[in-house]
Amino acid sequence: MRIDIVTIFPGIFESPLRESLLGRAIGAGLVDVRVHDLRDATADKHRQVDDESYGGGPWMVMKSEPVFAAVEGLGAGERRTLLLSPARRRLDQALVRELAAEPWLVLICGRYEGVDERVRARVHEEISIGDYVLSGGELAALVIVDAVARLVPGV
């Protein structure tokens, strides 16, 4: 199983992906987890990934262009792309089993006050890990990776 994580904070994943059961599964090649810095997919010298909301309001949202470039840069192939968000479908064991059956997952870690609406239109679905708000999708991505990896044969 391959899991790609798109984030503006790739350092958050370093230790959890090396430790415990998950670290051993990755080391054994049972799960292939790749973390991508969203800023590497930007086209400007400041590596900007946020912008003002087009609908107005004082908050910032993640720009669509870097997200599209990052996901497209992962290569061709059938994959299930998920946006981690405090809204929408709640993660439960049935969904974890469903995700574990996929050969390739792409997890987009939301930040700020959300993402440009065009991103929502290009993902398969939004996933929430609970009825609360985190500062970003990185911890939610780790929860999903850990839960899904446990169901991979051999792990």
User: What are the b/e assignments for 100-120, b being 16+ CB within 10 Å?
Assistant: bebebbbbbbbbbebbbeebb
Say what the pLDDT of residue 105 is.
Answer: 98
Say what the pLDDT of residue 64 is.
Answer: 74
Confidence of residue 60 (pLDDT cuts 50, 70, 90): low
Question: What average pLDDT does the structure give for the chain?
Answer: 88
Mean pLDDT of 77-106: 94
Say what the pLDDT of residue 14 is.
Answer: 94
- State pTM to two decimals: 0.91
